[in-house]
Amino acid sequence: MTTHKTDASTRIHRLADYTPPDFLVDRVDLDFDFRDDAVVVSATLALRRNPQSAAPDAPLVLDGEALETLSLAIDGIDLPPERYTLGAGTLVIDDALPGAAAAFTLRSVVRIRPDQNTQLSGLYRSADGYFTQCEAQGFRRITWFPDRPDVMARFTVTLHADRERLPVLLANGNPVGSGEETDAFGVSRHWARWEDPFPKPSYLFAVVAAKLDVLRDHFVTASGRRVELAIYVEPGKLDQCDHAMAALKQSMRWDEERFGLECDLDHYMIVAVGDFNMGAMENKGLNIFNTKYVLARADLATDLDYEGIDRVVAHEYFHNWTGNRVTCRDWFQLSLKEGLTVFRDQEFGADVHQPAVSRIREVRILRATQYPEDAGPMRHPVRPSEYQEINNFYTATVYQKGAEVVRMLQTLLGREGFRAGMDLYFARHDGQAVTCEDFVAAMADANGADLKQFMRWYERAGTPRLKACGEYDAQARRYVLTLTQSMPDDAAAEPLCIPVVVGLLGPDGADLPLRLSGEEKHEAPTTRTLLLKESSQQFVFADIDAPPVASLLRGFSAPVHLDFAQPDVELAQRMAHDSDPFNRWEAGQQLATRLLLGAAARSASEPTVADEWPDSFAVAAARILDSALAPGGDPAFAAEALALPSEATLAEEMAVVDPDALFTARMGLRAFLGQRLRERLETLYEKLAPSGPYRPLPADAGRRALRSLCLDLITAADPDAGCALAARQFAAADNMSDQYAALALLAHHDRPEAAAALAEFHARWQKEALAIDKWLLVQATSRRPDTLSVVRRLTKHRDFDLRNPNKVYSLLRGFGANHVRFHAADGTGYRFMAEQTLALDAINPQVAARLARAFDRWRRFDAGRQAHARQALERLAGNASLSRDVSEIVGRALG
């Protein structure tokens, strides 16, 4: 398949150029005829001119891609070829249109070839049948249409297919008819018709024609409406659907309780498919999911997989209100639905799992992915102002930073105020396609708040720096906190409105009552939200009897870099005593970061010097281990507290990234902890051994996570002993969490027990695609020096398939995230990634562009690595048939 480069394909789209649609579509009637090698799609659009259009005599311009047009008719009269123009991705009809105010119908018949659709956008074929993915611009690959989210229409869909081969025929909405039929060739087939009562943008359209098993259930909403639930999966996998179904019902209840939002549908369906570009898609009433976020069984899915299912099922369900009932005016507003819906799924996760650990994991992800993105060539505001290919903007910034921005609104307005804002948002905008301003305006108006300054969070790229400086005045018994904000590379940036949640610890580690000087005596909570609105502000705390230890940005109240020169002893004190669990974790991470960056800097200048690590760090770690199983302790928290910051996160703090030095430092500190805490770790490892059958409950998962961490540190100190333990755990495990943890650890080592475990795992699970993904991932992310050659070999393995995104993400993106191996000094990692990106680009540009993101930070490395990376990028850029997806990533990286 070839990708054609046209003028339209490299065009830059700008938010500032938005104009309302010239035509609206009231109704769409679609007919799909599934044949062996093609699908014929007949569409009847009820169109009329948009009274809001800026161009009352504009021609009708429809989007289409990879369509074979068989016929066109307006109001039932065939349109001869001279009456329309087929351009690059457009169909233009000018003089054949009826008068200005008149409504008319356009009927088109096109042929499409799902078998050849390797991009997995539009209608495509997977093992069990046909599936669709229309966000962002896949609908135009199904039929001619004004494919933009501010055109909302009512859809009716009829599907015709062979009953044996494709027994399940689904579309959005409600089933309104079905039956047997004989086609023009005398072949007997079946059909089904669906009607969606809600007007929707084309990106929420979906159909499925496949052979699938179904798990049925139902849900009764708070107001007593019955919703039929169904999860469709590959035949034989019904025993892997229960967790997703439970998560769906839990999400439905949660949204009623927390936001007063009920399900508006009679039918809510989830379909799982093994070939899918992303996690899942919120198509109205017919979600389509990557199997990874549906299928789970104790022996096949890890604790993380179970939690991922909870979060993604909730996320897609929550989109039904935030995204579907109220949708985006244009794709620049993507975070309107994604940031808000991620925030909602985070809040759901905090409620059903552990809030502190959930928050810690969110911030880890933000720092490891969004911070680098925001400092690199793909940096963009939460609401981008321009793009070449919208699929490249489904990013950590739009999703994760977008969620942080929504979270700040809740912090500023309080939970009730935030809820009032949500209520007003739905009251005003239900059924509309709106902008981020509309959302913030609802928040402001419901609370009588002025959020003009807050809008800057949507408009500005880059991670702000927050500098803090504390001074204690013994005489005046005051503590003066000076907060200063700035943007890197932009001294003139107008200040943001930053909520800074703070606490002050007294000498015994307990929180002090906080009274700002000038305030009434009585109100003195121990945690307060300071509002930083100027470039620099002072906050004076009164009645402080001794120098306090400041705990800033509690709960990670704003997505900023905090610059606060807190002495090590104070960090250690907070690591032990901070009442805010997030900041207790954060203090430990900061201490570890200082140690690791110090060691990395020393080893870079003097590679032979062995590192000396401070005893105090081991003492603090011991305290965390000891408290994990004590009353009130939390094993999951301990596991997070003892996991060191990732190389990608640490790299952002180095002037010139030295991946080998970072790697060595991290290994060294782990080995030090392993040595110093050996006995404790071994005891804990035994104590945390499974005591009953596997249950995917947060408390049990926390114990398993801590046990794996113990094993990891033991192995760092003593590979022989650790690998022996891991091999035993691998053999004894009755669940994937324990088995996978052991396998991942063994895979770092070039030893017989590792080879045996990998072979056994493969033999046992070769028919389970998601388990094979894990097998690929542990090898791709291995610390072994020969990992690249292993990965190269695996690209030729019969279980690897460049056409399957999950396989690509496991093996290739996994390798791209393997910091020390991908950034090998000889450039072999870069060359490999460029080759693979190019090969994949001819198959699936969306996924290829995600692979190319591995190069984002190339300029931050030394001259030698930079030269290799530049060469790899230039090789990509020099390719004449590069997709617009990859060309945007590569162009920005080189630009």
> Which residues contact ligand TRP by CB under 6 A?
133, 135-136, 277-278, 280-282, 315-316, 338, 391, 394
Residues with Cβ < 8 Å from 313, sequence gap 6 or more?
Answer: 244, 247, 248, 251, 270, 280, 289, 293, 294
Residue with tokens 């490891």: 368
* Residue 133 binding target from Zn ion, ligand TRP, none, CB below 5 to 8 Å by type: ligand TRP
* Residue 391 binding target from ligand TRP, Zn ion, none, CB below 5 to 8 Å by type: ligand TRP
Site string for Zn ion, 781-820 (x = CB under 5 A): ----------------------------------------
Q: Are 106 and 73 in contact (CB under 8 A)?
A: yes
Q: How far is the CB of 40 from Zn ion (least distance, A)?
A: 32
Residues with Cβ < 8 Å from 617, sequence gap 6 or more?
Answer: 591, 592, 595, 669, 672, 673
* Residue 765 binding target from Zn ion, ligand TRP, none, CB below 5 to 8 Å by type: none
# residues near Zn ion by CB under 5 A: 2
Q: How far is the CB of 386 from ligand TRP (least distance, A)?
A: 18
Please choose, out of 117-125, 331-339, 433-441, 724-732, the segment that lies near Zn ion by the rule CB under 5 A.
331-339
Closest CA to 279 of 850, 852, 853: 850
Question: CA–CA separation, 782 vs 749, rounded Å?
Answer: 8
Residues with Cβ < 8 Å from 670, sequence gap 6 or more?
Answer: 644, 712, 713, 716, 717
Residue with tokens 């009932």: 325
Q: How far is the CB of 255 from ligand TRP (least distance, A)?
A: 15
Of the pair 64, 122, the CB lying nearest ligand TRP is at: 122
Distances (CA, A) of 627 to 576, 621, 642, 659: 10, 10, 12, 34
Which amino acid makes up residue 711?
Answer: L
Site string for Zn ion, 335-354 (x = CB under 5 A): ---x--x-------------
Q: How far is the CB of 313 from ligand TRP (least distance, A)?
A: 11
Whole-angstrom Cα Rg for the chain: 28
Of the pair 316, 640, the CB lying nearest ligand TRP is at: 316
Of the pair 415, 803, the CB lying nearest ligand TRP is at: 803
Tokens (6 digits) for 818: 């393997």
Greatest alpha-carbon pair distance for the chain in Å reads 98
Closest CA to 58 of 22, 104, 97: 22
* Residue 603 binding target from ligand TRP, Zn ion, none, CB below 5 to 8 Å by type: none
* Residue 135 binding target from Zn ion, ligand TRP, none, CB below 5 to 8 Å by type: ligand TRP
Q: Are 122 and 155 in contact (CB under 8 A)?
A: no
Residue with tokens 């530049």: 870
* Residue 394 binding target from Zn ion, ligand TRP, none, CB below 5 to 8 Å by type: ligand TRP
Of the pair 338, 586, the CB lying nearest ligand TRP is at: 338
Q: How far is the CB of 293 from ligand TRP (least distance, A)?
A: 10
Q: How far is the CB of 4 from ligand TRP (least distance, A)?
A: 21
Sheet with 122-126: list strands edge to edge.
122-126, 129-133, 207-210, 168-171
Of the pair 338, 404, the CB lying nearest Zn ion is at: 338
Q: How far is the CB of 692 from Zn ion (least distance, A)?
A: 36
Closest CA to 309 of 243, 251, 237: 243
Strand pairing report for 207-210 and 129-133: antiparallel
Q: How far is the CB of 319 from ligand TRP (least distance, A)?
A: 6
* Residue 844 binding target from Zn ion, ligand TRP, none, CB below 5 to 8 Å by type: none
Tokens (6 digits) for 187: 């072949």
Q: How far is the CB of 390 from ligand TRP (least distance, A)?
A: 8
Of the pair 60, 208, the CB lying nearest ligand TRP is at: 208
* Residue 136 binding target from Zn ion, ligand TRP, none, CB below 5 to 8 Å by type: ligand TRP
Q: Are 735 and 299 in contact (CB under 8 A)?
A: yes
Tokens (6 digits) for 829: 């990692």
* Residue 278 binding target from Zn ion, ligand TRP, none, CB below 5 to 8 Å by type: ligand TRP
Our answer to whether residue 82 is catalytic in this structure is: no
Of the pair 282, 362, the CB lying nearest ligand TRP is at: 282
Contacts 24+ apart (CB under 8 A), 242-247: 242/215, 242/296, 243/296, 243/301, 243/306, 243/309, 243/310, 243/696, 244/270, 244/289, 244/293, 244/294, 244/295, 244/296, 244/309, 244/313, 245/215, 245/217, 247/309, 247/310, 247/313, 247/314
Q: How far is the CB of 156 from ligand TRP (least distance, A)?
A: 24
Q: How far is the CB of 341 from Zn ion (least distance, A)?
A: 5
Of the pair 341, 729, the CB lying nearest Zn ion is at: 341
* Residue 93 binding target from ligand TRP, Zn ion, none, CB below 5 to 8 Å by type: none
* Residue 280 binding target from ligand TRP, Zn ion, none, CB below 5 to 8 Å by type: ligand TRP
Of the pair 108, 400, the CB lying nearest ligand TRP is at: 400
Question: CA–CA separation, 640 vs 357, rounded Å?
Answer: 7
Of the pair 148, 857, the CB lying nearest ligand TRP is at: 148
Count of CB atoms situated within 10 Å of the CB of 45:
23
* Closest residue by beta carbon to ligand TRP: 278
Closest CA to 699 of 641, 744, 745, 633: 633
H/E element, 561: strand 561-564
Of the pair 203, 685, the CB lying nearest ligand TRP is at: 203
Q: Is 880 exposed, middle or buried (0-12, 13-18, 19+ CB in 10 A)?
A: exposed
Catalytic residue among 135, 282, 307, 316: 316
Q: Are 585 and 360 in contact (CB under 8 A)?
A: yes
Active site residues: 316
The footprint of Zn ion (CB under 5 A) covers 338, 341
